[in-house]
Structure 1
Amino acid sequence: MSLPTKEGATALLHAHVRDEYQRLHAVMVATALEGYAQHIFPGEDPHLWYLTGLLHDLDFEEHPDTHPAPSLGWFKEWNYPEALIHAVEAHAYGYHDFKTLPQTKLAAALLATDELCGIFYAYRKMNPVRYGEMKPASLKKKFKDHGFAAKIDRATIELGCQHLGVDLDAHIANLGRFLAPLN
């Protein structure tokens, strides 16, 4: 089992992902997962959780129709931990014939966090407020409004929350707190 440093993983991300939004999305998800490992699930490896979030969409730009199959192959070839591989595979539940449900806290957290970061980003574009200052009730209202950030798959967020054992309100509040350093 091997993992790159944060710097190495960031260089890998930049080699495969050129879109600035996708890079920011990766950092948002990584930061949120690291927050979960540090504050909600003590004993989990914050570095593993951060890198899982940072690299979860590594192949999306280059292989959108088969994502995340190519990156799963790379991760296996690079001898990345099975926990990372499983989480990346489970985050694609329901897409491109992926049927793997999250079996770990890391996988559930990635599933719950990935799409929700998109709602946070869209909300901030509409209301220039810092992440840590966003009102969870306002974000939940946007979550329920399927016309807002319409491409966000709310069902996967709810499925992730269910497997993580956290309700949506608490998850939104956690993400607001965890993403605050990105302001």
Structure 2
Amino acid sequence: MMPTREDAWALVCEFTQSENLRRHMLAVEAAMRAYARYFGEDEESWGLVGLLHDFDYERYPNVAPDGHPNQGARILRERGWPEDIIRSILSHATEVTGVPRVTRRDKALFAVDELTGLITAVALVRPDRSLYSVTVDSIFKKWKDRRFAAGVNRADIERGAAELGVPLEEHVARVLEAMQGIAPILGLDGSAR
């Protein structure tokens, strides 16, 4: 039986205390669900992959054989999660895990992961701290400034969109729209100024 979103959220809360990291996983979940709808795929499994992809990061931040996401995969296996979900999560760090991105779901996870961080950063520097005032143009304006959100790997975002077969601007727009749909949950609706 497929674990539920509630099961996934419980796991996230068990392993992750950081509100910002939890919000990142929620943003990736929203983007994954949007892509599942776009491609006519299973929204629940795609959402679970997005929600869980970094659940182990806070406890095992080292991206090495004994760190993230390998520890997360071990924990998920111990708890009986489906291997296809685990495989997709491992594929978002191919360089560390050796698990290639094969399925659309694998490619979507890689494509949205870094981008959600960039979009969040753009919203946080707006006067209203709101995703609702962020536009694709404002994202690309900040994109060009390599000092802004310097930790965001723009090359990975570009490569992810290309692997997914979606033009970069369309990709950015889809992920932004998905995140705007849960802006209050992400604390990026302007209410926390």
Q: Does 1:54 align with 2:51?
A: yes
In structure 2, how many angstroms separate the alpha carbons of the residues matched to 1:155 and 1:58?
Answer: 24
Q: Is the 8 A contact 2:124 2:130 kept in 1?
A: no
Q: Give the equivalent residue in structure 1 for 2:86.
A: 85
Which residue of structure 1 aligns with residue 97 of structure 2?
A: 98
Residue equivalent to 1:74: 75
2:97 counterpart SS class: coil
Which residues in structure 2 correspond to 1:21-60 (within 5 Å)?
21-38=20-37, 40-42=38-40, 44-60=41-57
Gaps of 5+ in 1: none
Structure 2 unaligned regions, length at least 5 = 184-193
Kindly provide the CA deviation profile for residues 94-115 of structure 1, in whole angstroms up to 9, marking residues without a partner as x. Answer: 3xx3333311111111101011
Q: Greater shift after overlay, 84-93 or 114-123? A: 84-93
Q: Deviations over 1:1-59 (max 9, x none)?
A: x4322222111110000000000001000011011112x111x1101111101100011
SS of residue in 1 equivalent to 2:57: coil
Match of residue 158 from structure 1: 158
Q: TM-score, normalised by structure 1?
A: 0.90
Whether 1:173 aligns to 2:154 is no
- 1:92 deviates by 1.1
**Alpha-carbon shift at residue 180 of structure 1 (Å):** 1.7
- CA shift, 1:132, in A, is 4.8
> How far, CA to CA, are the matches of 1:5 and 1:107 in structure 2?
19
Q: 1:34, 1:47 within 8 Å by CA — same for their partners in 2?
A: yes
For residues 114 and 158 of structure 1, the distance between their equivalents in structure 2, rounded to whole angstroms, comes to: 12
Amino acid at match of 1:122: A
Q: In the superposition, relative to structure 1, how do residues 98 and 145 fare at CA in structure 2: closer, same or farther (>3 Å)?
A: farther
**CA RMSD in angstroms, aligned pairs only:** 1.6
Q: 1:64 aligns with which of 61, 65, 68?
A: 61
Cα distance in 2 for residues equivalent to 1:54 and 1:125: 21
* Greater displacement, 29-38 / 135-144: 135-144
1:116 corresponds to: 115
1:144 aligns with 2:141: no
CA distance 1:80–1:49, change in 2 (3 Å): same
Q: What CA distance in whole angstroms lies between the structure 1 residues aligned with 2:85 and 2:159?
A: 19
Displacement after TM superposition at 1:85 (Å): 1.8
- Distance in 1, matches of 2:21 and 2:56, equals 11
